[in-house]
Structure 1
Amino acid sequence: MTAPTQMSRWVQVFLEAQAAEMDAAQNTLLSYARDLRGFADWLQAQGTDFADACRSDVEDYLIDCETQGLAKSTRARRLSAIKQLYRFAFDEGWRADNPAVQIKGPGRAQRLPKTLSIAEVDRLLDAARASPKETLRNTCLMELLYATGMRVTELVSLPVAAARGDPRMLLVRGKGGKERLVPLSPPARQALASYLAERDAAEETARKAGKPPSRFLFPSHGKAGHLTRHRFFGLIKDFALRGGVPPSKVTPHRLRHAFATHLLEGGADLRAIQTMLGHADVATTEIYTHVVDARLRDLVLQHHPLAKSRKS
């Protein structure tokens, strides 16, 4: 395949291949696009492009990113995108080499995921149940999120077909199109059944008015056809305010952390948690053992009599 003449075309063809051949998630494609276009802008300012850039150009770009104060994780992600692009370019015959192949990334600074206590989660759930509008939908959203540990994109884009028949487990399509089964707790099943009855009644009314049915469990009139991540983010902040939980502590992903941490504290098997979270590597899941260890350490330091300073 002949190499494209413009860097924007390189990015476009690369993204199309990732979508078609690797079934890359939309969020992954958007991330690649941002990172590669940023690199392209930098190369253009240096008077070069993807086709002629050498290893030193890539290294200088990463140094520039560090000078800007970008986090290690951001720099590591950008280098990964560049490596993927050049691997694709090499495979396609656009370049005879991969200038980024031997460059080591900055690594990621390991930080323990922040989570929520069981009491805080209970207050969020209570706030959802007391929603002045869309009560059953909001309750269902929160119950499903905490019961399964789904990523927010997985949650809002659930197909309604997955919820039919009072399921004990949900089939979730995760990153890279990988599917997994996640069990539902009794409260989540009850919330799902109640919301589904209301949703189906509304769909029937819409059908009689000539409107097509939605294939999503949480439909919306927007372009995506389902509730957006941005909208759900706003909802969960509202639940935090009304539930007396600091909004700065509450995000959809933190509920995912809470799901994993609370399961581990309750004695759940790490491999089972890995499967439910959809982690490809158990090492990713093991971070939650450090969260539990840190909590236990804090508990001892706060309450053990020998850990307290004694007055002489």
Structure 2
Amino acid sequence: MSKTRARTPRTPSVNHDAKDPIYLSEFRTAMLARGLSVHTRNAYIQDLRLCMNTSTKPLTTWGQDDVINCLHIAQAQGKNPRTIARLLASLRQFFLWQIGNDARKDNPCEDIKNPKVAKPLPKTLSEDAVTRLLDAPDGSLLGIRDKAMFELMYACGLRVSELVNLSFEQVNMNAGWLQITGKGNKTRLIPMGEYAKDALERYLSLRHQLLAGKSDCQAVFLTEQGGYMTRHNFWHMIKKYALLADIAIDISPHTLRHAFATHLVNHGADLRSVQLLLGHSDLSTTQIYTHVATARLQALHSEHHPRGWSSLSTESF
């Protein structure tokens, strides 16, 4: 009777390079001991290799001037601020590891500030595109459900988790309000508006058909099997309807929340009110929508004014 030989577990590949100095291999091993993923470890090593190419000195002997020189070279090579910030973060981790091993006492990155990385403006939709998306679902039971979800998300600026987990106790149909508990366990009241209220009422009148004899789920919005909706369900749903609505940009479930805020600001809503409706704890988070509105105004001016800007920048205002 032949014995089955036990299989030796495979360890993930980590892209070792024979040219790496010993201290880089030791740093990689330390990152493995910390439980960092292969992807993260490889990213650290790749960044450190780029840094090492900017100097003839061993990385272990670098001072602040060497770090600054490395970042200046990366900038001169056309590296974007996000890449430069990542190089600096990798260097910080390397020198912290050295300090932890009593190989040095100072971190030459300590007083160096990260380059300013501009936050990309959130993707949003024009009011016409939103209308096409909201009108895309058909008159079937699932189409009625989907339209109610879209209308509610756009009218109330809900996060996708708040939408799919919406329960009946959060809905006041008589008053036309939702009571939403969002991040930080903060509760906010949001008016639904006429269109969302009508779409929700129509769906609720048919919702029992999705249960089909199953025990009632407490969530307002149900799957075709009568269970809880998920973020994944909604992601597929909005992608499908975006195609039907001939929306060219790649949108996500969060896009309708961005559209809600952007369109409020475009129509003159003050930021503090938008902040309360979105459930942002900090007004600075909401201020991104003023930049979105500014970009939209610039685009309109460029497109329709005979002497509009040919090259636009939101930082020019």
Alpha-carbon displacement from aligned partner over 1:196-225 (angstroms, at most 9, x marks no partner): 12114554x52xxxx322111113488x95
Counterpart residue number, 1:296: 297
Aligned-partner Cα distance in 1 for 2:255–2:31: 43
Deviation at 1:163, TM superposition (A): 2.6
Aligned-partner Cα distance in 2 for 1:214–1:106: 49
Counterpart residue number, 2:30: 46
Identify the match of residue 226 of structure 1 among 225, 228, 246: 228
8 Å CA contact retained: 1:171, 1:180: yes
More divergent stretch after superposition (226-235 vs 192-201): 192-201
Counterpart residue number, 1:126: 135
Asked if residue 199 in structure 1 is aligned to residue 207 in structure 2, the reply is yes
Cα gap change, 1:195/1:297 in structure 2, threshold over 3 Å: closer, same or farther? same
Which structure 1 residue ranges, 5 or more long, are not aligned?
1-41, 52-59, 80-98
Query: Is the partner of 2:188 in helix, strand or coil?
Result: strand
More divergent stretch after superposition (147-156 vs 192-201): 192-201
Counterpart residue number, 1:141: 149
8 Å CA contact retained: 1:168, 1:183: yes
Counterpart residue number, 2:257: 256
* Larger of the two Rg values belongs to structure: 2
More divergent stretch after superposition (275-284 vs 158-167): 158-167
Aligned-partner Cα distance in 2 for 1:71–1:231: 36
Alpha-carbon displacement from aligned partner over 1:151-208 (angstroms, at most 9, x marks no partner): 11111111122235434210112123222111111010111111112114554x52xx
Q: What value does the CA root-mean-square deviation take over the aligned residues? A: 3.7
Aligned-partner Cα distance in 1 for 2:125–2:287: 18
Aligned-partner Cα distance in 2 for 1:115–1:126: 17
Counterpart residue number, 1:113: 122
Aligned-partner Cα distance in 2 for 1:71–1:235: 35
8 Å CA contact retained: 1:274, 1:285: yes
Deviation at 1:139, TM superposition (A): 1.1
Identify the match of residue 217 of structure 1 among 216, 220, 239: 220
8 Å CA contact retained: 1:163, 1:192: no
Paired AA for residue 159 in structure 1: S
8 Å CA contact retained: 2:235, 2:252: yes
Paired AA for residue 238 in structure 1: K
8 Å CA contact retained: 1:124, 1:243: yes
Deviation at 1:308, TM superposition (A): 7.4
Aligned-partner Cα distance in 2 for 1:47–1:267: 51
Deviation at 1:48, TM superposition (A): 7.5
Cα gap change, 1:47/1:279 in structure 2, threshold over 3 Å: closer, same or farther? closer
Deviation at 1:252, TM superposition (A): 1.3
Aligned-partner Cα distance in 1 for 2:147–2:139: 8
Aligned-partner Cα distance in 2 for 1:213–1:230: 22
8 Å CA contact retained: 1:124, 1:240: yes
Aligned-partner Cα distance in 2 for 1:167–1:260: 22
Asked if residue 186 in structure 1 is aligned to residue 194 in structure 2, the reply is yes
Q: TM-score, normalised by structure 1?
A: 0.62
Aligned-partner Cα distance in 1 for 2:206–2:224: 17
Paired AA for residue 214 in structure 1: C
8 Å CA contact retained: 1:167, 1:189: no
Paired AA for residue 110 in structure 1: K
Number of matched residues? 230
Deviation at 1:105, TM superposition (A): 6.4
Cα gap change, 1:197/1:295 in structure 2, threshold over 3 Å: closer, same or farther? same
Deviation at 1:45, TM superposition (A): 2.5
Deviation at 1:284, TM superposition (A): 0.7
Identify the match of residue 246 of structure 2 among 229, 239, 244: 244
Aligned-partner Cα distance in 2 for 1:152–1:158: 10
Asked if residue 272 in structure 1 is aligned to residue 273 in structure 2, the reply is yes
> Where in structure 1 do 4 or more consecutive aligned residues deviate above 4 Å?
47-51, 60-73, 102-108
Aligned-partner Cα distance in 2 for 1:166–1:43: 63
Which structure 2 residue ranges, 5 or more long, are not aligned?
1-25, 36-40, 51-78, 90-106, 311-317
8 Å CA contact retained: 2:210, 2:222: no
Deviation at 1:149, TM superposition (A): 0.9
User: Which has more helix, going by share of residues?
Assistant: 1
